[in-house]
Structure 1
Amino acid sequence: MGFSVNTNTGAMAALQSLTETNKGLSQTQSRINTGLSVSSTKDDSASFTIAQTLRGDLGGLKSVSSSLSRAKSVVDVATAGTEQISDIVNEMKAKAYQAADDGIDSASRDAINEDFKALRDQITTIVDSSEFNGTNLLKASGGTVTALQSLKDSDGSGTWDPDSLSVANQGLDLGGSVVTVSASGEIDTQANAQAMIDTLETTQENLNTSLSTLGAASRKIDAQSEFTSKLSDVIEGGIGNLVDADLAKESAKLQALQVKQQLGVQALGIANQAPQTITSLFR
């Protein structure tokens, strides 16, 4: 190869090699800084678009989880209220048995009746208080609760119709279909006390049904929440498999590229000195 000051092929080759090394070094530093091997569609279009779709699903599952948590709170409040009402009905039944005893005098029956009315009115207080986020499953006018179960289109129509679960209103107001004790019910006489015993037995049976319904709904929500949490973890792991960088590997690569960069700079310096040897020919 002839000597030329116009064209230094050695320097050009060294420069190309150094440029490629710097490009790899920049890419490796970016991966270490972001923790991602695929941070944009320029890195890997297929992996990036799949990851973006999964990120959208992950965001949707967070909404599902939030919806289920809200429904769980509503049902838990209703369950606590129903359990308390069931305990009160048991106490009312005991009072009714006492008042139905023909061996007590009217003064004692009146005192028992006062206790009974206080317990009766407490049911209304509990029903009115069993509200969460504007929903009260114990009050007939309190509405029902509906929550997202998944992101699935439930009817497959193409128009998104979310798969959801609903918990019906139990309607535990006094004088209703569940708590059959009227708002003015008393045990002021033996006959009223005897009739009240039958009413309270019916109420107990109805409350047991409500408790079973609420308990089943709570367990279903818990199971769906647990599944949603696991599904979110799996999707998040899948996204990581697609786009996360192996930092141990990138760290080792960074050190190798830094050494190559230093050697490349030295090689370029040597190549740039080559034309200077031509001047010795003219001495």
Structure 2
Amino acid sequence: MAFSVNTNAGAMAALQSLNSTNRSMETTQSRITTGLNVASTKDDSAKYTVAQTLRGDLGKLNAVTSSLNNAKSVTDVAVAGAEQISDLLNQMKSKTLEASDAGLDVESRTAISKDLASLKKQISTVIDGSDFNGVNLLKGAGAADTTAGKVTALQSIATDETTGKAPVLEINNQGFSTMLETLPTDDFASLAGTDSVVAAGAADALTVVLDKFFNDVKGSLSVLGAGSRQIEGQLAFNSNLTDVVTSGIGNLVDADLAKESASLQALQVQQQLGVQALSIANQAPQTLLSLFQ
């Protein structure tokens, strides 16, 4: 190799090697700082675009989960209300059976009628209070009335091939307000009359109404319970799916920090050696001065 003070090939080679090491160090430090092996489309376009698509799916899953949680809260409130009403109806049925005894005196029948009126008011209060976020599945005309309050929720991020929309879970209003209207409006005064035979007949008629009301409530409890279980099942599936998608994104773009740490150590040594090699190469032209001494 010719000796020249104009061109220092050794220094240029050492500089190129040092620059390459520095670029590798920047990449490794970025991976360690962000925890990502693919932080930008510049790192790996294919993996980055797939990861971005999966991140979009995660956002949709979060929206679906939020919708299901709201529906679950509405349904759980309705279930609690319906169960309480079922208990109150059982009490009313017991009181009515007691009132059907023709041997009761007027005072006893009057006390029973007052108890029944109080229980009816409690049912009305429970219906009105079974509200969550402005939605009440008990207060309304029932499923036949399309204007009645009902709860709907997104089920998944998939779209129906026919409608092109995401599938929706729906639980209709149970119409307890209409059921309550079937009970006497006279505060059960007919049970407190002086004629024990008439009062007993009124009690028997009331028993039929209460049995119908109770059976309707049982049907509503089945509907609400099934809806609640469906929501919980969908929430569990969405939670598992979210975990799987999150893991999938991690497999695509997350950095192996143990590997990057080891790489950083090696690059630091290479950088130090590169600096020394460049220093030695820069000193080479000075050896030419000895030829002229």
- Same structural fold, with TM-score higher than 0.5 when normalized by the shorter chain: yes
Q: Describe the SS at the equivalent of 1:166.
A: strand
Q: What is the distance in 2 between the residues matched to 1:193 and 1:177?
A: 18
1:107 Cα deviation (Å)? 1.0
Identity of aligned residues (%): 57
1:191 Cα deviation (Å)? 1.7
Q: Describe the SS at the equivalent of 2:175.
A: coil
Q: What is the distance in 2 between the residues matched to 1:77 and 1:108?
A: 36
Q: What is residue 240 of structure 1 aligned with on the other side?
A: 250
Is the 2:128–2:139 contact (alpha carbons within 8 Å) kept by the matching residues of 1? yes
Give the counterpart of 2:150 among 133, 144, 169: 144
Change beyond 3 A, Cα 1:64–1:233? same
Moved more, 199-208 or 180-189: 180-189
Structure 1: any 5+ residue segments left out of the alignment? none
Give the counterpart of 2:277 among 229, 254, 267: 267
Give the counterpart of 2:174 among 167, 170, 173: 170
Change beyond 3 A, Cα 1:59–1:121? same
Change beyond 3 A, Cα 1:64–1:21? same
Is the 2:114–2:187 contact (alpha carbons within 8 Å) kept by the matching residues of 1? no
Aligned residues, how many? 279
Q: What is the distance in 1 between the residues matched to 2:221 and 2:155?
A: 22
Q: What is residue 181 of structure 1 aligned with on the other side?
A: 183
1:169 Cα deviation (Å)? 0.3
Q: Deviations over 1:147-168 (max 9, x none)?
A: 00011112445xx412110000
Is the 2:37–2:253 contact (alpha carbons within 8 Å) kept by the matching residues of 1? yes
Is the 1:179–1:203 contact (alpha carbons within 8 Å) kept by the matching residues of 2? no
- The letter of the residue matching 1:277 is T
Q: What is the distance in 2 between the residues matched to 1:25 and 1:68?
A: 47
Give the counterpart of 1:161 among 158, 165, 169: 165
Q: Describe the SS at the equivalent of 2:157.
A: strand
Structure 2: any 5+ residue segments left out of the alignment? 142-147, 193-198
1:14 Cα deviation (Å)? 0.3
Q: Describe the SS at the equivalent of 1:147.
A: strand
Q: Describe the SS at the equivalent of 1:119.
A: helix
Is the 2:153–2:169 contact (alpha carbons within 8 Å) kept by the matching residues of 1? yes
Q: What is residue 124 of structure 1 aligned with on the other side?
A: 124
Is the 1:18–1:264 contact (alpha carbons within 8 Å) kept by the matching residues of 2? yes
Q: What is the distance in 2 between the residues matched to 1:178 and 1:224?
A: 33
1:280 Cα deviation (Å)? 0.3
Q: What is residue 96 of structure 1 aligned with on the other side?
A: 96
Kindly report the root-mean-square deviation, in angstroms, between the aligned alpha carbons of the 2 structures.
Answer: 1.3
Is the 1:149–1:163 contact (alpha carbons within 8 Å) kept by the matching residues of 2? yes
Q: What is the distance in 1 between the residues matched to 2:222 and 2:73?
A: 17
Q: What is the distance in 1 between the residues matched to 2:11 and 2:69?
A: 66
Q: What is the distance in 1 between the residues matched to 2:186 and 2:67?
A: 39
1:195 Cα deviation (Å)? 0.6
Give the counterpart of 2:264 among 254, 263, 280: 254
Q: Describe the SS at the equivalent of 1:150.
A: coil
Q: Deviations over 1:213-271 (max 9, x none)?
A: 00000000000000000000000000000000000000000000000000000000000
Following superposition, which runs of at least 4 residues in structure 1 exceed 3 angstroms of deviation? 177-180, 182-185
Q: What is the distance in 2 between the residues matched to 1:178 and 1:267?
A: 93
Q: Describe the SS at the equivalent of 1:280.
A: helix
Q: What is the distance in 1 between the residues matched to 2:272 and 2:138?
A: 76
Give the counterpart of 2:205 among 195, 216, 232: 195
Is the 2:137–2:174 contact (alpha carbons within 8 Å) kept by the matching residues of 1? yes
Is the 1:54–1:239 contact (alpha carbons within 8 Å) kept by the matching residues of 2? yes
Q: What is the distance in 2 between the residues matched to 1:8 and 1:131?
A: 84
